[in-house]
Amino acid sequence: MKIAVSSCLLGARIRYDGGHKHDRFITDELGRYAEFVPFCPEHLAFGTPRPTIRLVDAKEKHIVQSNKDGRDLTEQLMQTSRSELEVLEHSSIGGIIFKSKSPSCGMGSAVLYRKNGYAEGKGNGVFAELCKVAFPLLPMEEEGRLLDPWLRENFVMQLFAYDDFERFQSAHPGMNELVAFHQSYKFMLQAKDEKAYRALGNIVANHDKLAFEEVLKHYELLFKRAIAQKSSIGKTRNVLEHMAGFVKNLITPVEKSILHEQIKDYANKIIPLITPLGTLDMFAKKYEVAYLLGQKFLHPYPKELALRSDMRSGR
Ligand code: SF4
């Protein structure tokens, strides 16, 4: 999968002061599974090093102003942002990670100033705003928010599910394949958005007898919106109980009580999600429960990322 990333997060010495903001999780962990497409609209516009810039709130659109002499640099930054966007549009990317707080790359965290110099609030940087409009369904996050284990786990789950859908779609599937794809995402979708899971089921059922291409288009839109939702401990607990239902008549009373104890402990934030999921996975393998073994929720991304081992990955 290809992920577009702010160059400074990849370690490029490209910030206004010639420094970088190398993010080890991105390069060392995600980098094992992704190819990066770097971008830096400010370096393209102003070179490195360069005077800092700020976003000045001007009602309809923000103005980019030099902190050095107050010059309006909006057009220059817009031009390089558009050309960086064009590169991304031709790169088949499956996600974007932005540098937080930057007037170009910040996603909701760029400080907006009033004309009198006081900070007014926060918003999107110039480039992040263009990306949000151009790729409304693409997984996007800031590196700052990815420090939160819950947001990190949800984002990585979204990245891999998005990539999975793209691969699925490019293999020219038919209706049977779509039914199987939907089935394999049952528990992940339920952990994120139960309503969307049901709506997706209705799309797959195709009561209106639409052409398959039409069905797939509807499915894609809703699927990509659903995987962008965040799971919660409450929703995940329901999913775990539901999964337990698939093995309840196969496991011994002792195994059953261990499993339910683990689910309860997970819900009470005593143990991480990986514990009850690992137990369910083991029972599914031991008793050959194909339906559970095919669930993406059991293995949504490479296990080496170990994101579900963190107690703080549930909220
Ligand atoms: S413009 Fe973006 S990529 Fe370039 S240095 Fe600033 S935050 Fe990093």
Ligand 1, from 104, 111, 131, 140: best to mutate by most atoms within 8 Å of Cβ? 104
> In which domain, by residue range, is 159 found?
148-315
Pick the last residue of a domain from 106, 129, 147.
147
Q: Are residues 160 and 197 in the same domain?
A: yes
DSSP state at residue 1: -
Q: What is residue 58's predicted lDDT score, i.e. its pLDDT? A: 67
The SS3 assignment for 119 reads strand
- The verdict on 53 and 122 lying in the same domain is yes
Same domain, 89 and 171: no
137 and 153 in a common domain: no
Whether residues 180 and 133 share a domain: the answer is: no
Q: Are residues 179 and 123 in the same domain?
A: no
41 touches ligand 1 (CB under 6 Å): yes
Is residue 212 located within the same domain as residue 293?
A: yes
What is the distance in A from the centroid of ligand 1 to the CA of 24? 17
Residue nearest to atom 5 of ligand 1 (CA): 15
Q: Identify whether residues 203 and 301 lie together within a single domain.
A: yes
- pLDDT averaged over 10-residue windows placed end to end, the chain, 315 residues: 98 98 98 98 97 85 85 96 98 98 96 89 95 98 96 97 98 98 98 97 97 98 98 97 98 97 97 97 97 97 95 91
CA 106/CA 103 separation, integer angstroms: 6
Residue 99 Cα: closest atom of ligand 1? 7
Regarding whether 24 and 101 lie in a shared domain, the answer is yes
Domain boundary among 147, 170, 187: 147
State the SS3 of 48-109: CCCCCEEEECCCCCCEEEECCCCCECHHHHHHHHHHHHHHHHCCCCCCEEECCCCCCCCCCC
Question: What's the 135 CA to ligand 1 centre distance in angstroms?
Answer: 19
Q: Report the nearest-CA residue for atom 8 of ligand 1.
A: 8
Indicate if 191 and 291 belong to the same structural domain.
yes
- CA-nearest of 53, 33, 90 to 301 is 33
81 lines ligand 1 (CB under 6 A): no
Spatial CB neighbours of 116, under 8 Å, sequence gap ≥ 6: none
Q: Which of 147, 166, 190 is the last residue of a domain?
A: 147
Q: What one-character DSSP code corresponds to residue 301?
A: S
- Give how many domains the chain has, as a whole number: 2
In a shared domain, residues 114 and 72: yes
- Determine if ligand 1 sits within 6 Å of the CB of residue 99: yes
Ligand 1 touching residue 50 (CB < 6 A): no
Residues 119 and 229 in one domain: no
